[in-house]
Amino acid sequence: MNISDIERGVSVRTRVKVPIRPRAGTFDFEPEMVTFSGLCDNAEHLALVFGPPGAVPYVRVHSECLTGDVFGSSRCDCGEQLHEAIMQFGACGGILLYLRQEGRGIGLYNKLDAYRLQIVHGLDTFAANRALNFPDDSRDFRVAAQMLQALGVYEIALVTNNPDKVAQIARHGIEVNRSVCTGVFANEANRRYLHAKVVHHQHAINLSGDYR
């Protein structure tokens, strides 16, 4: 396979196995954590590789969410999606790309400013971003394609509900063999947020059933 322009200059920096303990369960996984040099945005993104990648590995491209991933915020479904991927990949193999793109790329402080607008003024998540003079979504998933190419992966099954993520990664040289939806992790606090993602950006989230 020809090396794409986007891959040139990108390389694996460090590989190290790190035991991790999922939020649920009393057992550990030991994925290989991989860092990179030469990524297009110079940020410290991380890949977690669970077992030898198959011919078409499952891949989750997960944007950092401190409030959900670490503190368990119920205003989003990020933490549940992250830990679902860890459990699935720990059992069956896969690659988790953890991207430092807090708040769909606007950063932690701006995300909390957006939260305040949602709570005080009733804006949805995208309207709150626009009120702060940000686009609906500032993320560039080109870096995910670079990371996969550096790992020698060019065809994937992408675990996502976001059609833009599929389109961007495919546009940058990765064949998305199929996309696989995550679970639906709705609750009273995040249902409006999830509904906005479905209505405004066509995320594949089925909100017709009971809360999970």
- For residue 53, give every residue at least 6 positions away whose Cβ sits within 8 Å of its Cβ, in sequence order, or none: 93, 94, 95, 151, 152, 153
Q: Model-level pTM?
A: 0.91
Percent of the chain with pLDDT over 70: 92
Tens-place pLDDT, residues 74-97: 999 999 999 999 999 999 999 999
Residue 50: CB atoms within 10 A of its CB come to 23
Min mean pLDDT across 3-7, 14-18, 130-134 is at 3-7
Tens-place pLDDT, residues 22-61: 877 656 789 999 999 999 999 999 999 999 888 899 999 9
Structure tokens at 43: 């940020």
Sign of CA dihedral 86, 46, 159, 91: negative
Structure tokens at 180: 């696989």
Instruction: Determine whether 137 is an active site residue.
Output: yes
- For residue 175, give every residue at least 6 positions away whose Cβ sits within 8 Å of its Cβ, in sequence order, or none: 154, 155, 156
Mean pLDDT of the chain: 91
**Residue in 69, 139, 178, 192 annotated catalytic:** 139
Instruction: Determine whether 113 is an active site residue.
Output: no
Ordered structural domains, the chain, with CATH: 11-101+139-201 (3.40.50.10990)
**Residue in 137, 142, 192, 212 annotated catalytic:** 137
Tens-place pLDDT, residues 90-144: 999 999 999 999 999 999 999 999 999 999 999 999 999 999 999 999 999 999 9
